[in-house]
Structure 1
Amino acid sequence: MTVILDRPYQFVPPCRNNLWPAFIQQFRIVDRYLRKKEGVVSYECRNLDVFRDSLARGDGILLAPNHCRYADPLVLGWPARHAKTPVYAMASWHLFNDGWLDAFAIRRMGAFSIFREGSDRKALDTAIEILTEAERPLIVFPEGTTNRTNDVLKPLLDGVTFMARAAARRREKHYGSKVVMHPIAIKYLCKHRIDSWANQQLSVIESHLGWTKSLGGSILGRTIRVAEALLALREVQYLGCTREGNLSERRDRLIQHLLSETESRLKMSVGNEDLRARVRAIRTKVSSIWFSENPDEQEKLRLKNDIVAADLAQELVSYPNCYLESDDVTDSRIVETIQRMQESLWGKADVGIELHAVIEFDSAIPVPAAKAPRGVEDPLLVELRDRLSSMIGRLSKEARPLEAESAT
Structure 2
Amino acid sequence: MTVVFERPYEFVPPFRGTLWPWLIQRLRLYDRYLKRKEGVVDYELRGTEHLKQSLDAKHGVLLAPNHCRYADPLVMGWPARQLGIHVHAMASWHLFNEGRFDRFALRRMGAFSIFREGNDRQSLEAAIDILVEGRRPLIIFPEGTTNRTNDQLKPLLDGVAFIARTAAKRRAKRHADPAQSAAAGSGHVVVHPVAIKYLCLENIDRWATQQLDQFEQRLGWKLMPRRSIRERTVQLAEGLLALKEVQYFGHCNGGDLSTRRDNLIEHVLSSTESQMKLDKPSEDTRERVRLIRSTASSRYFDNGADPSTATELKRYVLAADFAQDLSSYPDSYLMPDQVTDTRIVETIQRMQETVNGKADHTIPLKAVIEFAPAIEVDTRRPPKGRRDPLMQSIEDDLTARLAKLATEARSLQS
TM normalised by structure 1 equals 0.97
The one-letter amino acid of 1:126's match is: A
Partner of 1:85: 85
1:76/1:238 CA distance change after superposition, 3 Å:
same
- The separation in 1 between residues aligned to 2:222 and 2:336, in whole angstroms, is 30
SS of residue in 2 equivalent to 1:353: coil
Partner of 2:289: 279
CA contact (8 A) 1:203 1:214 kept: no
Which of 338, 346, 363 is the matching residue for 1:353? 363
The one-letter amino acid of 1:401's match is: S
Partner of 1:149: 149
After TM superposition, give the deviation of residue 68 of structure 1 in Å: 0.2
Which of 169, 182, 200 is the matching residue for 1:190? 200
Counting only pairs closer than 5 Å after superposition, residues 9-408 of structure 1 correspond to structure 2 as 9-176=9-176, 177-294=187-304, 299-404=309-414
CA contact (8 A) 1:16 1:110 kept: yes
After TM superposition, give the deviation of residue 161 of structure 1 in Å: 0.5
The one-letter amino acid of 1:107's match is: R
- The separation in 2 between residues aligned to 1:271 and 1:326, in whole angstroms, is 37
The one-letter amino acid of 1:148's match is: R
The one-letter amino acid of 2:157's match is: L
- The separation in 1 between residues aligned to 2:335 and 2:393, in whole angstroms, is 29
The one-letter amino acid of 1:116's match is: R
After TM superposition, give the deviation of residue 326 of structure 1 in Å: 4.4
CA contact (8 A) 2:147 2:153 kept: no
After TM superposition, give the deviation of residue 373 of structure 1 in Å: 2.9
After TM superposition, give the deviation of residue 51 of structure 1 in Å: 0.3
Structure 2: segments with no counterpart, 5+ residues: 177-186
Structure 1: segments with no counterpart, 5+ residues: none
- The separation in 2 between residues aligned to 1:123 and 1:326, in whole angstroms, is 44
- The separation in 1 between residues aligned to 2:329 and 2:120, in whole angstroms, is 29
Give me the CA root mean square deviation. 1.2
- The separation in 2 between residues aligned to 1:228 and 1:331, in whole angstroms, is 19
After TM superposition, give the deviation of residue 359 of structure 1 in Å: 0.3
CA contact (8 A) 1:182 1:361 kept: yes
- The separation in 2 between residues aligned to 1:307 and 1:271, in whole angstroms, is 16
- Number of corresponding residues: 404
- The separation in 2 between residues aligned to 1:13 and 1:389, in whole angstroms, is 32
- The separation in 2 between residues aligned to 1:120 and 1:300, in whole angstroms, is 23
SS of residue in 1 equivalent to 2:156: coil
After TM superposition, give the deviation of residue 196 of structure 1 in Å: 0.4
- The separation in 2 between residues aligned to 1:305 and 1:109, in whole angstroms, is 33
- The separation in 1 between residues aligned to 2:310 and 2:20, in whole angstroms, is 40
SS of residue in 2 equivalent to 1:43: strand
- The separation in 2 between residues aligned to 1:377 and 1:267, in whole angstroms, is 32
| 376-385 or 327-336: bigger deviation | 376-385
1:153/1:128 CA distance change after superposition, 3 Å:
same
> Percent of counterpart pairs with the same letter?
58
TM normalised by structure 2 equals 0.95
The one-letter amino acid of 2:233's match is: T
After TM superposition, give the deviation of residue 28 of structure 1 in Å: 0.8
CA contact (8 A) 2:269 2:319 kept: yes
- The separation in 1 between residues aligned to 2:201 and 2:110, in whole angstroms, is 30
- The separation in 1 between residues aligned to 2:225 and 2:114, in whole angstroms, is 46
CA distances 1:299-346 after superposition (whole Å, capped 9, x unpaired): 432211110100000000000001112411100000000001111111
- The separation in 2 between residues aligned to 1:147 and 1:388, in whole angstroms, is 14
- The separation in 2 between residues aligned to 1:10 and 1:351, in whole angstroms, is 32
CA contact (8 A) 1:216 1:222 kept: no
- The separation in 2 between residues aligned to 1:134 and 1:258, in whole angstroms, is 44
CA distances 1:3-32 after superposition (whole Å, capped 9, x unpaired): 111111111112111111110111111111
CA distances 1:61-85 after superposition (whole Å, capped 9, x unpaired): 0000000000000001111111111
After TM superposition, give the deviation of residue 297 of structure 1 in Å: 5.1
The one-letter amino acid of 2:394's match is: L
- The separation in 1 between residues aligned to 2:73 and 2:223, in whole angstroms, is 40
1:403/1:132 CA distance change after superposition, 3 Å:
same
CA contact (8 A) 1:59 1:134 kept: yes
| 232-241 or 96-105: bigger deviation | 96-105
CA contact (8 A) 2:188 2:376 kept: yes
| 228-237 or 284-293: bigger deviation | 284-293
